[in-house]
Structures are given as C-alpha cells and as structure tokens.
Structure 1
Amino acid sequence: MGAVLMAAGAGRRMGYRPKSLLRREDGKPLIAHHLRALVAAGLSDVVVVLGHHADRIGEVLQQEKQAAASPSGLQWVLNLNPDDGPGSSLRCALAALPADLDAVLVTLADQPLITAADMLSVLTAWRARAPGTALLVPRFQGQPGHPLMFDTRVRRDLMAQPVEAGLRDWRRAHPAQVAWLDANHPRYTFDIDTEADLARLAAEHGVVLR
C-alpha cells in the first residue's frame, strides 16, 4: 500500500497562505503531523503533491525527509497546473508511486484533526471490505471525507480520465463499487479553508493553529 498527501492548493480563502504550514501548539507544521501519522499507520511509500507554495512547503519536506519519524519512501512531486483541480494533482502523485502497489490511501494536508488511529481505522475497514469494493470512503453525518482508499482498478481509471475529472466523478459513476466507513466523529470531514474554520477548530476541539 502507498499514500498520497495532497498539498497543492493556493489557500485563496486563507489569504493565499499555505494551509499545510499552519503550526500546531508544538511548533510543527500541519504537514509534518500528517507524515508522522502515515508512518505510525505503517505507510512508507508516500508522495506529497505540491502546486502553489511549492518552494515553501518543499523546504519543510526536505527537513522532514531527514527526520527518523518521516516515511522512508517519502517523495514529492510538482503539479504545474494545480488550478486544474484535485484530480490533476492526484494523477501527478499516482504517476510517482510504485506501479505494483495494491492500494492507495489519499489524505489532505489541511485536515487538522486526523490521527494515525483514524488512518488505521480506514486501513482496517479496507482489509475487511466486501468483494467487489474498489473505493472506501469515510463519512460523517452523510458527508464524505478523507483519508480514503482505492485499488488498482480505480488508480488505472483515474490515470485515464480527462484533466477536469477527479475521484468524485469516479465515485458517482461506480456507486456499486464504493464502500462507506461511517464515523461518529468529524475528524474525517474537518478541513481548514477560512479564518472562521480556525476559530471553530479552537472553540469546538481545543486545537489552535497559527
């Protein structure tokens, strides 16, 4: 299994700031916490896809690559056209992962509450999936979230899709091959887009990002 960490966004609604570099109370950027969670979940082949803010995020990744707690197979790729959408960024990352992986986990670098335990829950559900399941998506109160997982069939289909298409399009076109992991918490669906999200994160979850 391998993993993709999506970090190509511009952060427009956050004043064009790189959301993955928001820092937790321990001073470490959000993206570093995700890398450590991926390692703790047993994932070593990790591709981070960059776009906007690539130079700044790349500096942090270079530092993280030297850390013992980072994935041994950590690499990062640049999407030259990140505004083409998440499908474009995902395809850049999938092209960089080893071809022989049987499944891929995809997570977002601007999710402040995701833990290694949450990733392990997705991995456990994936291993127990029903025959014919090609995509596993966590959800909370009906809202799809991340991290999600898919197999080689989905990976192949995604690589062949047009530039504007993404995983959501595949999911809607193949509902019978999708399994849902229903959660009783919002960690899978809480991401940071605005200053209001930061305030809600602190007020509701006690997590302060700076």
Structure 2
Amino acid sequence: MGFTSAWAVTAHPDTTIAALAPRLLPALREDRDRPGARERWAAWCRAPLPDHRTWYAVAPPPGTPAADPAAIGAFHELTCPGPAVEDVCDGTRDPDFHVMDGVWDQDLDEEDVFFSVHRKEYAVSSLFHALGPARAALLPGWCGNFLLTAAETAAALPAVERAFAFSAAERAAAEARDRLWYGDGEESVLDGPPRVWRTAVAKGYGLCAVAVHVG
C-alpha cells in the first residue's frame, strides 16, 4: 500500500512558536514516551542498520551483512511520523487546527522553509540512516519533530552544525546512505535542515519541525 509523507522544518517568530506550543509540545512528549519508543532508539544506537540496498535484497552484495527484518521494522517505526504529533497536525485532535493552515501556509519566506515530500519513503528515516546514531543524537526534539524558541534554536545550532559537518569522504558516505530521490533543484535532507537553522538564528526566529502523512 502506497503513502506520501512530508517533513517540514520552518522558521517562525516566537509569537508563533508560543501559539503552537500547547498543541505540539505535549504531543511530541507523548510520542517520545509511548511504549517501546526509547527501546527502539537504543536498539538502533547499539546496532545501526547496514547499507539500505541490503534491506530487501534476496542476496546482499558480497561482503555486506544482511539486514534483520525486525530491525528494519523497528527503525521505520522509530522514524516514521509520530502518531500523537500527526493527530495534532491532521486535525484529528482539533478540527479547527491543521498543520497546513496553522504552520505551513503563513506566507513564509522561501529561506525560512525546508519541505521534503516523498512517496513510499520517510524523509526523517532517510536522514537518520544517512547521519547514523551519533550524529542524529545531536538533533533536538524527538526523531525529527521539534518546536524551539529563538533562544533554544540558537543554543542548539553548534550541535546541529556538528551533526552536519562532513569531510569530503564522510559527505559521500552520507549521500550514499540517503535513500531519497531528488528532482532538479530539490534540496536534500543533508542540506535543508542546517540551512533553515542558520537562517532562523540570523533572524532571531524559532523553529518548528513536523513529519506527517499527506496521502
């Protein structure tokens, strides 16, 4: 069965962040604290998944360990849109609020937005697989979802810069682990989030990041 997912990182003044906080922060904590979530995170940290080209291969490439189907499933469960945040964003919890109108459709400047939409893939899953656990752990929030004030955004920037700081060889390896296909001019998950982060800090803005199913 197919699906389409979206992950957006958007920069906003603190007034917008404050208005979103009563809705999104409790849902984010709910997803982080739901049964098994922390265990799935710990399992991935202990044993990161091998090359994604082995995940569903009948026979993995020579010298490459085969992926454990249970580990793949747990990783997808960890990094797919969180159910509580998604219920907030799609209007399930409050029909008067939807992320499209309440967050994304606010006449945002292009520089204030990173938007990644993909069929049959999750942008956060691809990002985390590309970064690996040590770098992914430097990102705030929970598995791609976060809501930060301007001060929190600025305080987190050094760690975010470390997460996305690559040598030429490290960048090539991360790109090889990025499972997404990009169209002409489309920004990758390795470039968009740190760009918006720097923009937000320069403008004195906070950040909102949410992942949802859109189809």
TM-score between the two structures when normalised by the length of structure 2: 0.26
| Structure of greater Rg | 2
The structure in which a higher percent of residues are strand is: 1
Q: Which has the higher contact order (CA 8 A, sep 6+)?
A: 2
TM-score between the two structures when normalised by the length of structure 1: 0.27
The structure in which a higher percent of residues are helix is: 2
